[in-house]
Structure 1
Amino acid sequence: MSSSTQGKSVPVVPRPSATVIVVNSRNEILLVHRNPKSTAFANAHVFPGGNYDKKQDDGQGLPFTAIRELFEETGLLLVHPSSSKIPSNAELDAAREAIHAQKRLFRDFLSQHNLKPYVEGLLPFTRWITPAPLPKRFDTRFYVTFLDEARPAGFSSGDKQERLPTPDGGQEVIEARFLHPAKALEEFYAQRISLFPPQLYLLKTLAEVLQGTQNTAEQRDRVRTLSQGAFGRMVINPRALQDAAAQAEGFSVLTYEGDETRGGSPGRRHRSRVRFGQGGAATQILLERNFDIFTEIEEHAFSQPAKL
């Protein structure tokens, strides 16, 4: 919850975090299923990622955090394509467990095997900051990467069951699986999986670009265009909007920068109608975005520093 200073509520400072959207050759995206009993993102499907860890990540930057968390949560290791020899599965499994338990540094493991994390392959793909009223807040950098451009170790398609114990004996991730963003959206709309608004937002964005079941150079170029343009630079601070009609239907309305209520032009919609379930994950999300994300983002609406 928020702390208090002289009777005033002070918002919790968001924790720096990093998440990576891994795209394989079949335009499938890697999602992990969080444990229903987890203290954060319970039972939701999310992209692999987690908090910056000073011990593990000191001096490395958030792309390094994203690669480390990807390895810990799924067993998938992204290293530079120039890497010549990949450790055996047994070595990877042992290192993953030791790193997750803070008994070994990820960078030491990489150094031992002359591996370079493929940080340059991670493309910025928006930044989201948890709203101030919530007790757990994250300042999350989202990245997207193409699996075929790295030297991956670990699984690259299909499903993988994971029950990796955390240091306190809990379990963070139940399973990891690759599926097309359109398929993930289909499962969400059928209420077979739950998502959070940022994941829905980015899945819809990628579903519009990564059409079909073969990843093409043209599709990768379009994703890079988004990353290098105004879209990739967007810092989104969701803010609740009082909407009696939506509330009567059981929805909350979250507005984003660039909405007509958040610095955008009249009639500009950049918001979501959300029906939240248990644990904070959404059971229904209706994204309203009536502008072209390649050419019509009004950057002036995003020019102010994000308020923490």
Structure 2
Amino acid sequence: MTTPIKPAATVILMRELKEGDFEIFMVKRSNRSAFGSLHVFPGGKLDPEDSEDDLYQYCEGMSDTEASKQIGIENNGLSFWIACIRECFEEAGVLLANPENLIMQDAEKLDKLRTELNNKAITFKDICVSESLSLRVKNIVPCAHWITPAIEPKRFDTRFFLAKVNSEQLATHDGFELTESFWIKPMDALKKFQNGEMNMILPTIKNIEKLAEFSSSTEAFNYFNDLGNNAIPAILPKFIKRDGQWIGFLPGEEGYENV
């Protein structure tokens, strides 16, 4: 039986540092969740609500047609942006909405809404409607596209996105699916992975390696923003077992097409 592939969205928050460098926000998943004990970025599978037309009206400055063209699909591309914003609020407590929305100045109410959302007492659409939110989808840009290999029991078609936030932005993990959270420079994250201090899978590592090439979050954001529509190819790793060991191949590597 073929394992179903579920669409998912992941958001990499970036904040500038005073010395001209930048940090990314990372979380550690609990043993109870998918990808348990791994260090990842906030994100998850798309919910049915994410692709409801009446939720799209709360997206500031981008239509579903534009979003879909940007990631090379026929429709409901905007649902990936909405999923990023929803997951980021659920998991990190960061609401990527216009700062002029009144709710953005009320930390206590934001925290209450986040708790209710995580407890499934309300939906993300309920928050958008009650607070007349303007979701800052224009401040979110796609940066990678990974598909879980066929050997995995759970498979996801995951779009990765970058989002710039205020240099003073705080974020906190939810304490349920996530057990740790922190801001870290891309190069420092790679060093911790190499030292065995952080457990990460290939998509996370490759995204951080790419971000380590940039000197600022603005430079990274502009690089991906300037790529244009449908410019990010999907990466589907393939694996074969040889002498009892799994050997992986990425697109473009020798032997990939023969797997």
The TM-score range, normalised by the shorter chain, is 0.7 to 0.9
Tell me what 1:28 maps to: 23
Q: Paired residue for 1:105, among 123, 126, 137? A: 123
Q: Which amino acid aligns with 1:185?
A: L
| Pairing 1:115-194 to 2, within 5 Å after superposition | 115-148=133-166, 156-157=169-170, 160=172, 162-163=174-175, 171-194=176-199
**Pair 79,146 (structure 1): closer, same or farther in 2 beyond 3 Å:** same
Please point out which of 2, 14, 19 is paired with 2:5. 14
**Residues 90 and 188 of structure 1, relative CA distance in 2, 3 Å threshold:** same
Structure with larger RCO (C-alpha < 8 A, sep 6+) = 2
**Aligned residue type for 2:42:** P
What is the TM-score with the length of structure 2 in the denominator?
Answer: 0.79
Q: What secondary structure does 2:197 align onto?
A: coil
* Percent of residue pairs bearing the same amino acid type: 28
The answer to whether the 8 A contact 2:211-2:220 is kept is no
Aligned-pair distance for 1:253? 3.1
Quick check: 107-116 or 180-189, which moved more? 107-116
RMSD over aligned Cα atoms: 2.6
The one-letter code of the counterpart of 2:40 is V
* CA–CA separation in structure 2 for the residues paired with 1:97 and 1:105: 11
| 8 A Cα contact 2:10 2:161, kept in partner | yes
| AA aligned opposite 2:11 | V
Cα separation, partners in 2 of 1:104 and 1:217, compared to 1, 3 Å: closer
Q: Which runs of 5+ in 2 are unaligned?
A: 57-78
Classify 1:85/1:235 alpha carbon distance in 2 versus 1 (closer, same or farther; 3 Å): same
Find the aligned partners of 2:9 and 2:104 in 1 and give their Cα distance. Answer: 24
TM-score (norm 1): 0.67
CA distance in 2, matches of 1:184, 1:229: 30
Aligned partners of 2:8 and 2:45 also within 8 Å: yes
| 3-state DSSP of counterpart to 1:233 | coil
The answer as to 2:228 corresponding to 1:228 is: yes
CA contact 1:22–1:146 (8 Å) conserved in 2: yes
Amino acid at match of 2:125: R
- Secondary structure of the residue that 2:212 maps to in structure 1? helix
Q: Deviations over 1:78-101 (max 9, x none)?
A: 113554552522211111111112
| Structure 1 pair 145–258 and aligned structure 2 pair: CA distance change class (3 A) | same
Question: How far does residue 218 in structure 1 lie from its aligned partner after superposition?
Answer: 4.1
Corresponding residue of 2:205? 200
Q: How many angstroms apart in 2 are the aligned matches of 1:183 and 1:239?
A: 29
* Contact 1:162–1:176 under 8 Å retained in 2: no
Instruction: Give the structure with higher Rg (CA).
Output: 1
Letter in 1 for 2:202: P
Measured after TM superposition, the shift of residue 241 of structure 1 is: 4.2
Structure 1 residue runs without a partner (length 5+): 1-9, 164-170, 264-308
Instruction: Assess, with a 3 A threshold, how the Cα gap between structure 1 residues 139 and 106 changes in structure 2: closer, same or farther.
Output: same
* Contact preservation (8 Å) 1:125, 1:144: yes
Instruction: Kindly indicate whether the alpha-carbon contact (under 8 Å) linking 1:130 and 1:139 is maintained by their aligned counterparts in 2.
Output: yes
Q: 1:187 to 1:89 in 2, by over 3 A?
A: same
